[in-house]
């Protein structure tokens, strides 16, 4: 009974709700990595800085009183960041990893400047898209809806879920267009794309601009969600997103583009749930980075271990079959 009570205190509705909220917000970064890493086959290491860029730009515009415009401005800043990364790769001959490192390094100064040369910003007295939705519910809906959506906080989860669903549907539709198929083909076989009179420099640029826009949008949403912005907010983001991506693709599997996108979002939510459980069981704050590293390592190694286990199973089954045939 004591064990059940303890488990009940760990797996609560509030923990699930918080994990899903953060999971949906961070899933936009995972979707960005899905485009750059899984589709374009490019390791974009500017993700950390681009995430903070979106956070910084959105925070600055939100403080000026325009929370909705802030998200679009964050996406615009992300597009510029993605264009610079692509320009270094396609026009300047810089390797993709080095291009990401260069842009990520330069973005630190840009982000500090966007934050007014301060390492953090406070948005507690500012309106956000979350407060706008909350006020709309309170002013236009009944007492029952206010009780469930506002007082219990479900409006935040619904809002971020709707945003992610819209982005996911648009992304799935775009990747099915002629340009989207060209981007997918560029990642599959660059030589074939060149032979097909498709300009890979253009498709890479569009792909990286798209992925950086989603990364910055995620940062902007997080700034308004937690009502603050910090210069180190994006540290390690590419590693966490990669872990979420691999978790989703491993558990959900590959299939249609929509299924892969759903898997990516699921992986992000599952990762956040695991981290939330680690915090709930009183893992010291100093150890959270280690916990995250272990989760990342397991997620990345899992497909390899799974394949090895499958091979070993077939191997021993074949040995057993031959022994049985020899005995007969």
Q: List b or e across 233-269, with b for residues whose CB sees 16 or more CB atoms inside 10 angstroms.
A: bbeebbbbbbbbbbbbbbebeeeebeebbbbbbbbbb
Residue 310: per-residue pLDDT: 86
Identify the residue with better confidence: 46 or 192: 46
Report, as an integer, the average pLDDT of 295-321.
82
User: If you count them, how many residues does the chain have?
Assistant: 328
Residue 4: per-residue pLDDT: 55
Mean pLDDT of the chain: 86
Which of 83, 90, 44, 88 has the alpha carbon at shortest distance from 201?
90
On the 0-12 / 13-18 / 19+ scale of CB atoms within 10 A, 161 is middle
Beta carbons of 45 and 105 less than 8 angstroms apart: no
Provide the pLDDT confidence category of residue 246 given band limits of 50, 70 and 90.
confident
Q: Could you tell me if residue 284 is inside a domain?
A: no
Percent of the chain residues past pLDDT 90, beyond the cut: 40
| CB neighbourhood size of 211 (10 A) | 32
Which of 127, 133, 49 has the alpha carbon at shortest distance from 85?
49
Rounded CA separation 95/89 (Å): 6
Q: Could you tell me if residue 243 is inside a domain?
A: no
Which of 25, 33, 78, 22 has the alpha carbon at shortest distance from 52?
78
Q: Could you tell me if residue 275 is inside a domain?
A: no
- Could you identify the residue written with the tokens 């995250």? 292
- Checking if the pLDDT of 6 tops 70, the result is no
Identify the residue with better confidence: 236 or 159: 159
Beta carbons of 25 and 225 less than 8 angstroms apart: yes
- Checking if the pLDDT of 263 tops 50, the result is yes
Q: Could you tell me if residue 75 is inside a domain?
A: yes
Tokens matching residue 162: 């709707």
Beta carbons of 249 and 267 less than 8 angstroms apart: yes
- Checking if the pLDDT of 326 tops 70, the result is no
Our count of domains for the chain comes to 1
Residue 287: per-residue pLDDT: 75
Reported pTM: 0.88
CA angle centred on 157, ends 25 and 236, rounded to 5°: 20
- Checking if the pLDDT of 253 tops 90, the result is no
Report, as an integer, the average pLDDT of 235-240.
85
Provide the pLDDT confidence category of residue 3 given band limits of 50, 70 and 90.
very low
Provide the pLDDT confidence category of residue 26 given band limits of 50, 70 and 90.
very high
Tokens matching residue 219: 């940062």
- Checking if the pLDDT of 76 tops 70, the result is yes
Structural domain of 64: 20-235
């Amino acid at each position: 009974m004591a064990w059940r009570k303890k488990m009940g205190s760990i797996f609560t509705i509030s923990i699930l709700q918080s994990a899903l909220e953060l999971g949906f917000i961070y899933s936009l970064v995972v979707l960005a990595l899905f485009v750059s890493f899984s589709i374009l086959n490019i390791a974009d290491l500017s993700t950390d800085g681009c995430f903070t860029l979106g956070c910084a730009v959105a925070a600055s515009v939100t403080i000026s009183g325009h929370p909705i415009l802030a998200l679009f401005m964050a996406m615009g800043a992300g597009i510029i960041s993605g264009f610079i990364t692509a320009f270094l790769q396609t026009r300047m001959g810089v390797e993709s990893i080095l291009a990401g490192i260069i842009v990520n390094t330069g973005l630190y100064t840009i982000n500090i400047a966007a934050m007014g040369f301060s390492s953090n910003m406070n948005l507690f007295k500012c309106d956000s898209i979350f407060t706008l939705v909350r006020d709309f519910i309170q002013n236009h809906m009944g007492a029952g809806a206010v009780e469930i959506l506002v007082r219990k906080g479900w409006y935040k989860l619904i809002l971020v879920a709707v945003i992610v669903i819209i982005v996911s549907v648009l992304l799935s539709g775009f990747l099915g267009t002629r340009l989207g198929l060209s981007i997918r083909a560029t990642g599959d076989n660059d030589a074939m794309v060149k032979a097909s009179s498709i300009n890979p420099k253009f498709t890479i640029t569009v792909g990286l601009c798209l992925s950086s826009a989603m990364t910055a949008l995620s940062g902007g949403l997080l700034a308004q969600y937690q009502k603050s912005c910090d210069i180190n907010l994006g540290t390690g983001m590419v590693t966490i997103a990669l872990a979420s991506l691999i978790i989703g693709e491993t558990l959900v599997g590959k299939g249609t583009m929509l299924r892969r996108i759903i898997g990516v979002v699921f992986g992000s939510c599952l990762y956040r749930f695991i981290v939330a459980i680690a915090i709930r069981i009183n893992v010291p704050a100093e150890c959270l980075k280690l916990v995250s590293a272990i989760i990342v390592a397991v997620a990345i190694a899992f497909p390899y271990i799974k394949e090895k286990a499958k091979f070993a199973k077939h191997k021993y089954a074949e040995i057993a079959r031959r022994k049985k045939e020899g005995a007969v």
